[in-house]
Amino acid sequence: MRMLPDRAVLTVTRHDGVWRVEHEGETFGHSPDKEIAKAAANRHAREMQDRGRACQVRVYGEHGFWAA
């Protein structure tokens, strides 16, 4: 029996100098600005939630603190 995840996970990562959103092997929202890529992920997640699918947006490369 194959387990299906209970929510869609959209991941924002930096790759080859740009930020991008990855979902189920496809990428979109490419931008040199992380905030623009995050906005694309959140828009896509909202569309999926409006259709009844639970979502989670993850951002890699964001640590929550500033390194010296």
User: Domain boundaries in the chain?
Assistant: 8-59
**Does residue 61 carry a pLDDT above 90?**
no
Q: Is the separation of the CB atoms in 21 and 41 below 8 Å?
A: yes
Query: How sure is the predictor about 54, in pLDDT bands with cuts at 50, 70 and 90?
Result: very high
4 class by beta-carbon count within 10 Å (0-12 exposed, 13-18 middle, 19+ buried): exposed
Note the pLDDT of residue 58. Answer: 94
pLDDT confidence tier of residue 29, bands split at 50, 70 and 90 = very high
**β-strands 55-59, 18-23: how paired?**
unpaired
**Contact (Cβ atoms closer than 8 angstroms) between residue 44 and residue 51:** no
The CA-CA-CA angle for residues 15, 62, 35, to 5°, reads 70
Task: Work out the average pLDDT over 13-40.
Answer: 94
